[in-house]
Amino acid sequence: MPRHRTALLIALLAVLAPAAGRAQQVADIEARLEKAERYHEALRTLAGGRVRPVWVPGEEAFVYRAEAGPLAGQWVRVDALRGTSAAIAQESLPPQPSPPGLERLDRRGDTLRILRADGGEAARLVEAPDAGWEVGPRGWHPGRRWLAVGRTDQKGVHTVPVIDYSSPLEQVQPAVYPKSGSPLPVQSIHLVDAVAGGMREISLDTRDAYLWIAGWRGDPAEALVIRMTRTGKALELLAVDPRNGSSRTLVREERPETSVAALDFATGGWVNQVTVLPDGSGFLWFSERDGWRHLYRYGWDGAAPRQLTRGAFPVHRVVRVDSASGQIHVIASADAARPYDQHLYVLPANGGALRTLTREPGMHDVQFSPSGRTFLDVHSTVDRPYATDLRRADGSAIARLEVADTSSLAALGHRPPEPFTARAADGTTAIHGVVYTPADFDPSRRYPVVDYIYAGPFISAVQKEYAPTLGMHRVAASLAQMGLVVVMVDGRGTPGRDKAFQDVTYGRVGQMEIADHVAALRAAAESRPWMDLSRAGIAGHSWGGYFALRGMLTAPEFFRAGYAGAPGDLTELAVINEPHMGMPAENPEGYERGSNLPLAANLAGPLKIMHGTSDVNAPFSTTMRMIGAFIAANRRFDLLVIPGGPHNPPDPAGRFYRQDLRRFMATQLQGIGNRE
């Protein structure tokens, strides 16, 4: 072959070889994208292992619909004392329990009528555009004479515009959205006399406060109302006389230097705060006054409470109070070696040492039979599938009813996440996390690493059960199938531990969480040489999106690429921010230092932001302001806007978003390589 033709061929091969390599890389990414979505769906549809019983009235028996095993798809009746099971026809099912007092409510359109026992009208509640009513499950007095209902007046509360872009003539709808430092809706409690008829409003100071109807004292009748100030610094339990509307304070806790109750309380934790003792002698109350969440027993005079549980562990909720045996059953995390595991414990009604009734490591969710003679124990760990055991009240085993069917995951080469423990950025505090690896994991390779983050005082985000209990777990596990190592960490400031652990970030959200995550990733990589921290990325959704931005802007030398989905901001919902940050006017430095906007010029690596235009959890305006800051700082970024998308876009937009995240991280991190 002539020399010039040989040189030309060599030159042509030099051009084609990289192109062929890139084509192969694209083909590999596309194949991984398809498998990652199948993996996500297999995690979402994992069947069985978690029995949900419907107890048969008057019997120590229940029915449930089997999801795994030889009776899968059938209704099963279980003799709880013997542990025997048998399939039954659907027409043999016992009546489903209905919410208390449902037969006394008549809703027609925007009007709810409260009925007397004879069918007459006791009160009429009419919804209005700026005011609504709430009738909760704890509103009825046990005797059904009285009903406590809540009303929320939203006049004067800030709204965000939700724009419908689906037609050329855009439609704009306002969504009520009280931002940090702006006016709150005004709540009020009303008591209905469902025998004589009529309704009265309770005279309470509800300015800058949140109210919850927590139940009733039986005799004499008193409605129990929880009131929390908007900053969470004061929490009260009030008893209200339905006959005249007068109220008295049973408990008041106040902590000027921090909060008594934070976001996890306001978004659902309040339901576990008060337990009325069945013998009528008083109530149980949760408090972190000694630094840990413990249980206290009060009489109806509210004086001299007795602390029932003590120790360096939190108690999460009361499961059952047995007046006959003088015992209280609680869910707590009292295993120092596994501080997030939740077990069932029993203690004397007057306090004392806890005795564990569930021994297998992991998370336990229990439900007692109405008689209290037996209970169902649903349990798992990140590497042990769900199982439901039937047990006697003393914890002894009767039968294992069901184990999860994991065959769909096994077919995809499922690798459970690997737990690890590290030291926080302070070098002292133990923090916990998990590592997700791809199904085709090869320890001889080096893998890019993604910190899938959800920091802050909102939830403990790390997966602790076999199946993902949060959508972010499915996202993290399926993202690893792109040939990545994905890490999740519960750093300082998250709930589920002691008060001091969460208060590390009190008034300082955004100032130290990233340092904890970087420290955790470095610690995990010390014993895992296949983690390549020179190719580290960060991603998250909602507050995870805020912290993904935070990582890119405060640790640009560590995180090489970032993806922020629907990022939050400290200026958003008052109930989200104020209980852990205080009011903006009282903590201007904390709010300013926690803002991502002034840090826009720090952006160094590739970044993508996703936001839905109809998001009313983290409004689209948050991303618009961030975009403005990047433009002003002359920093480039990518953007995915989902028209009409809510905070968590449903499929098919949700699938597009998941695939976009996977594609972005795989291409950016696998193409970045080591930096000199």
pLDDT at position 419 is 97
Report the DSSP pairing between strands 315-322 and 306-307.
unpaired
**pLDDT at position 12 over 70:** no
3-state secondary structure at position 357: coil
* Residue 492 · residue 503 · CB < 8 Å: no
pLDDT at position 579 is 94
The three-state DSSP-derived secondary structure of 566-603 is CCCCCCCEHHHHHHHHCCCCCCHHHHHHCCCHHHHHHC
**pLDDT at position 489 over 80:** yes
Helix/strand/coil percentages in the chain, nearest 5: 25, 35, 45
Q: Which two tokens stand for residue 162?
A: 């939700």
Residue with tokens 């108690």: 315
pLDDT at position 673 is 39
Q: What per-residue string of b and e applies to 110-120 under the rule 16 or more CB within 10 Å gives b?
A: eebbbbbeeee
Give the model confidence (pLDDT) of 49-104 as tens digits.
999 999 999 999 999 999 998 999 999 999 999 999 999 998 888 888 888 888 89
**Residue 7 pLDDT grade (very low, low, confident, very high; cuts 50, 70, 90):** low
pLDDT at position 21 is 64
pLDDT at position 469 is 82
* CB burial of residue 303 (10 Å; 0-12, 13-18, 19+): exposed
pLDDT at position 20 is 63
3-state secondary structure at position 181: coil
pLDDT at position 13 is 54
Q: Which two tokens stand for residue 196?
A: 């004589």
Rg of the chain on CA atoms, in Å: 28
**pLDDT at position 139 over 80:** yes
**What mean pLDDT do residues 623-649 have?**
98
Number of other CB atoms surrounding residue 307 within 10 Å = 13
Give the model confidence (pLDDT) of 154-171 as tens digits.
999 999 999 999 999 999
**What mean pLDDT do residues 571-596 have?**
96
CA separation for the pair 184, 182 (Å, rounded):
7
Report the DSSP pairing between strands 111-115 and 105-108.
antiparallel
DSSP string, 604-672: -S-EEEEEETT-TTTTHHHHHHHHHHHHHTT---EEEEETT--SSPPTTHHHHHHHHHHHHHHHHHHHH
pLDDT at position 89 is 93
* CB burial of residue 29 (10 Å; 0-12, 13-18, 19+): middle
pLDDT at position 205 is 86
Please give the mean pLDDT across all residues of the chain: 93
**pLDDT at position 675 over 60:** no
**pLDDT at position 38 over 80:** yes
Give the model confidence (pLDDT) of 523-550 as tens digits.
999 999 999 999 999 999 999 999 999 9
3-state secondary structure at position 361: coil
Q: Which two tokens stand for residue 408?
A: 């769909």
Backbone angle region of 665, left / alpha / beta, with phi > 0 → left and psi within -120 to 50 → alpha: alpha
Beta bridge mates, 607: 562
**Residue 207 pLDDT grade (very low, low, confident, very high; cuts 50, 70, 90):** confident
CA separation for the pair 434, 473 (Å, rounded):
10
If residue 22 lies in a helix (H) or strand (E), which one and from where to where?
Answer: helix 3-44
DSSP string, 32-101: HHHHHHHHHHHHHT-B-S----EEPTTSSEEEEE--SSTTTTSEEEEETTTTEEEEE-GGGPPPPP--TT
Give the model confidence (pLDDT) of 375-419 as tens digits.
999 999 999 999 999 999 999 999 999 999 999 999 999 999 999
**pLDDT at position 635 over 50:** yes
pLDDT at position 47 is 85
Give the model confidence (pLDDT) of 282-293 as tens digits.
999 999 999 999
**pLDDT at position 105 over 80:** yes
Which pTM value belongs to this model? 0.93
**pLDDT at position 672 over 60:** no
What lies within 8 Å, CB to CB, of 5 at 6+ separation is none
**Residue 674 pLDDT grade (very low, low, confident, very high; cuts 50, 70, 90):** very low
**What mean pLDDT do residues 507-512 have?**
97
Give the model confidence (pLDDT) of 554-566 as tens digits.
999 999 999 999 9
